[in-house]
Structure 1
Amino acid sequence: MLDYLIVFSASLLAATIAPFYSEVVLAAVLTRQPDAALLLWLLASIGNTLGSIINWWMGKYLLHYRHKRWFPIKEKALTRAQARFQRFGIWTLLLSWAPIGGDALTLIAGIMKVRLLPFTLLVFIGKATRYGVVIYFAERFLL
């Protein structure tokens, strides 16, 4: 039971702005519980998607503070990110699994006020695919 909680928590944490690698945790737990691959995949995918929803929520309310001195994103960078997201649309959320820029996409989606249901579906598809690939390779090379 603790292993499942660890995979879920690591996946949730990895999707927020905190630097963390849940794939390593998932692969390690999978070596201890190879028969639980489907459950581990589901827990990691749901945890990571929930972490992205946290980013979406933060992005949704972040702009209220854009004129504060401590605001972490420069106006020019914010405008550029919004323009790119607008150009490519919500389908970019399928790339939210990417180690570089994926978490930023989920934050920008909140800023752009993407509706939660399509956001969640697209992000879950991307994250679940990534964890499926991780499990595939872990089963081939670690088990």
Structure 2
Amino acid sequence: MVAAALSAETSRTALFLAATAGNVLGALANFALGRFAIRFEDRRWFPVSRQARQKAETLFARFGRPVLLFSWLPIVGDPLTLAAGLLRTPLLVFLAYVTIGKAARYAVLLWLMP
């Protein structure tokens, strides 16, 4: 994203929209895994460890759904989105929080670039 943002040929608006949409779709995949495929949690290919999932569930219990605003964070973001699916967070609520969090991340990154 940094190289594309520094390129004069790339629209920052298009870059912002593409990065946000792509990240939200990735989070939606984790949400679906939590909702429908948690039975595969012990498989090697499963993207979130049991320990990370349990930590994310603890965060959910403590702070509620707004914790999804931090789904952009490395290490904890994927387990949070998986836990949201597992805990049956309504899809529209999930998408609202995740989109706001991820959009804010890219807005700040683009704002900080020359």
Range of TM-score over shorter length = 0.7 to 0.9
* Contact in 2 for aligned 1:62/1:111 (Cα 8 Å): no
| Structure 1 position 38, deviation (Å) | 1.1
What is the match of residue 91 of structure 1? 66
Q: What 5-or-longer segments of structure 2 have no aligned partner?
A: none
Letter of the 1:94 partner, please give it.
L
Q: Which structure has the bigger radius of gyration?
A: 1
Say which of 93, 104, 112 aligns to 1:118: 93
Q: Which has the higher contact order (CA 8 A, sep 6+)?
A: 2
Change (3 A) 1:128 1:78: closer
* Contact in 1 for aligned 2:56/2:79 (Cα 8 Å): no
What's the TM-score once normalised by structure 2's chain length?
0.83
| Structure 1 position 35, deviation (Å) | 5.7
Aligned partner of residue 119 in structure 1, secondary structure: helix
Q: What 5-or-longer segments of structure 1 have no aligned partner?
A: 1-25
Change (3 A) 1:33 1:116: farther
Q: How far apart, in 1, do the equivalents of 2:108 and 2:9 lie?
A: 15
What is the match of residue 55 of structure 1? 30
RMSD: 2.2
What is the match of residue 40 of structure 1? 15
Q: Which has the higher helix share?
A: 1
Aligned residues: 111
Percentage of matched positions with identical amino acids: 36
| Structure 1 position 123, deviation (Å) | 0.2
- State the 4+ residue runs in structure 1 displaced beyond 2 angstroms: 62-66, 69-74, 76-84
Aligned partner of residue 37 in structure 2, secondary structure: helix
Q: How far apart, in 2, do the equivalents of 1:103 and 1:70 lie?
A: 16
Change (3 A) 1:27 1:79: closer
Moved more, 82-91 or 99-108: 82-91
Q: How far apart, in 1, do the equivalents of 2:24 and 2:73 lie?
A: 13
Q: How far apart, in 2, do the equivalents of 1:40 and 1:70 lie?
A: 35
